[in-house]
Chains A and B, each alone.
Chain A
Amino acid sequence: MSATTQTPQKLRTRKPLSVGVVAKNLTALVLAVVFVFPVYWMFSSSLKPQHEIMTKDPVFVFTPTFENYTTATGVDLFWTYVTNSLMVTIGAVLLALLVALAASFAIARMKFKGRKGIVLVVMMAQMAPWEVMVIAMYMISRENDLLNSIPTLTLIYFVMVLPFTIWTLRGFIAAVPVELEEAAQIDGCTRGQAFRKVIFPLLAPGLMSTSLFGFITAWNEFAMILMLNKEKESQTLTLWLTQFQTAFGSDWGATMAASTLFALPVLVVFLFLQRKAVGGMTAGAVKG
């Protein structure tokens, strides 16, 4: 098959001077620059000395400095924001994985009355317009003295990421052949043991990409934290980034350093896991 299908393609790429090929590659290159530019500009600005940030004509060659990073991380309560962000995000993701693993196993592997209804509920919850419900969230939290609380925020983020965690994990579990599980059961495992010893290890990639999406969602969240956690001690890096901008007026260098620090973990993990990300993202139909 390869011989017949590849010949025409080879012929096409072997003509290096064809206008079409040049135009195609040039377009791709321009697009690549356009898409990467904001990220590059954030990073390069973060390394510029103060006097080279405040210029009418941007400076492209400069001696990198870390002074902006020192300013950004030298803010009061910086480590509190870091700790809060990590606690909220990791807590929400772990809780979601635990609860979703059980639910998605049932949905993917067991036949029971109401299964379809549950699938529908999960799908609807996945589309829930959280941003629109902040007022109700605020009222409920206020009545129950749950404002400015890290556990409250963790629980909200947990339910925010739960539906797509179930949805994606269900796909990954269904992809594991039932025969493997049966074989283990024939070999004397209980259903629980078969799950732990056979399915769970095979789910590792699924768990990784699912927690990545959860991590990004929780790390990114903005509306809830803005509304519910007004006390500085209970805020996360998300708000650190915005407060910071007003607090420093036009200190763009420090703001860009803060943005870089905020984006770095996500960028690194995302690029590391990108192959799984593309398929998984669509499978779960996930985005901020």
Chain B
Amino acid sequence: MTVDSQGTATAGPQDAPGRAAGKSQTPPPSSGPKEVLQPSRGRRSLPSGWLPYLLVAPALLSMAVLLLYPLVRNVILSFQQLNRKEFITRETVWIGFDNYTELLGDPDFWSVVVRSIVFTAVNVALIMAIGTGIGLLLNRLGKKMRLVLSLALMFAWAMPIVASVTVFRWLFDEQFGVVNWLMRTLGFEGYEQHNWFETGFSTLVIIMILLVWGSIPFVALNMYAALTTIGSELYEAAKMDGASGWRTFWAVVFPNLKSFFMITTFLEIIWIFKAFAQVYAMNQGGPDRGSETLPVFAYIEGVGQFHYGVAAAISILTIVMLIAVMSFYFRLILKQEEEL
């Protein structure tokens, strides 16, 4: 197997867009050969100026209908009173910004916001720190050990989300879970029938373990791929200067992979912040709505409590927060695209 192959190293996130941009800026020496051929064949009646638009039209059209329209509808819904009654009678009741003012004045909403942000921050910090560490370790391992560790990471990465949530519930099962057994074996008291899903906090800790476990492989394996792009001369120079491992990391690795770290961090922030299946399937946001993050809060308000209008407003506020994060990400990508 070729987990340790470096063929992929060149396709790090930083040069994927660049690679495309680099090539596409030289369009086929403008239709030189094509124009010679076209008249004789006469098959293509479309002026070539339309062709690119024709090619992108299906994609743009489907995104407009299935992505943009629901988004617009979401905004519209957020200005309506849409509870159980209106939902059944299919009435439309406009209430302006009431859903928003209600939410923004509701301490419950703010505690979910704070919870989501803290939860995302802790998760991303752990994922980035451990993922980077494992990436560095992979780079320094021998061939066999590297293969073993990469394969293990691949297994965690490839596990479908719903399946891994189910497995984690089994690992942390109150009666027959292997985690309670492990805690007892290690000599900790009180894990006879410990209920890990007793509080919102402990539920979130388990979701966190799941998210960190599932997200690290992406960071670690890509980190390793990116590391192989750094020439070994740089390490040797650092070594000759007598730099410690810590110092080598900050002086050689980090500056070279700065955009890798930035982009990966942004992606993880976005992914963790909007994670739904992991949080909802673990314990439906419970107990007592104590493990709800923003997307789950929106779902439960809407579907569970029949407050569809409020739920729509929550989603819009969530999207606004995501856009704030994403704008940084896009600026970064666009900047790279111009540089390369």
Contacts and interface: CB of A to CB of B under 8 A. Distances in A.
Contacts of B308: 135, 139
B141 A24 contact: yes
Contacts of B294: 132
Interface in B193-242: 213, 216-218, 221-222, 225, 232-233, 236
Contact of A112 (B53, B63, B175): B53
Contact of A106 (B43, B55, B70): B55
A159 B63 contact: yes
Interface string B281-302: 1000000000000110011001
A82 to B, nearest CB: 15
Nearest to B327: A124
The bracket for how many chain A residues form the interface is 35 or more
B222 A282 contact: yes
B158 A174 contact: no
B11 A280 contact: yes
Nearest to A27: B137
Contacts of B326: 124, 127
B176 A55 contact: yes
Given A58-B178, A159-B62, A162-B63, A38 B10 contact: no
Interface stretch (A62-70, A73-81, A96-104): A96-104
A278 B23 contact: no
A47 interface: no
A252 B59 contact: no
A220 B277 contact: yes
Summarize B's interface: helix, strand, loop or mixed.
helix
Contacts of A270: 154, 157-158
A141 B243 CA distance: 62
Given A31-B152, A103-B58, A135-B77, A282 B12 contact: yes
Contacts of A263: 158-160, 163
B62 A158 contact: yes
The bracket for how many chain B residues form the interface is 35 or more
A31 B28 contact: no
Nearest to B153: A35
A122 B166 CA distance: 33
Nearest to B174: A250
B298 A185 contact: no
Interface stretch (B107-115, B248-256, B315-323): B315-323
Contact of B63 (A34, A163, A223, A226): A163
Contacts of A216: 158, 160
B102 to A, nearest CB: 16
A250 B170 CA distance: 10
A94 interface: no
A89 to B, nearest CB: 11
A140 B281 contact: no
Interface string B1-37: 1110101111111001101111110111100011001
A95 to B, nearest CB: 9
Summarize A's interface: helix, strand, loop or mixed.
helix
B141 A136 contact: no
A275 B43 contact: no
Interface string A51-62: 001111110000
Interface in A240-271: 241-242, 245, 250, 252, 255-256, 258-260, 262-263, 266-267, 270-271
Contacts of A280: 11
A39 interface: yes
A171 interface: yes
A203 interface: no
Contact of B8 (A119, A128, A136, A276): A276
B149 interface: yes
A181 B166 CA distance: 49
Contacts of B162: 220, 222, 238, 241-242, 262
A287 B312 contact: no
Interface string A126-149: 011101111111011000000000
Contact of A102 (B16, B56, B70, B312): B56
A288 B170 CA distance: 22
A197 interface: no
B63 A121 contact: yes
A279 interface: yes
A203 to B, nearest CB: 14
B158 A278 contact: no
Given A35-B153, A45-B170, A99 B58 contact: yes
A57 B10 CA distance: 48
A223 B60 CA distance: 24
Interface in A214-231: 216, 219-220, 222-223, 226-227
Nearest to A275: B2
Nearest to A252: B170
A196 interface: no
Contacts of A35: 149, 152-153, 155-156, 213, 216-217
B335 interface: no
A232 interface: no
A219 B149 contact: no
Given A38-B164, A131-B274, A181 B149 contact: no
B79 interface: no
B324 interface: no
B303 A227 contact: yes
B265 interface: no
Contact of B3 (A112, A118, A139, A274): A274
B55 A103 contact: yes
Given A123-B333, A136-B73, A140-B73, A219 B160 contact: yes
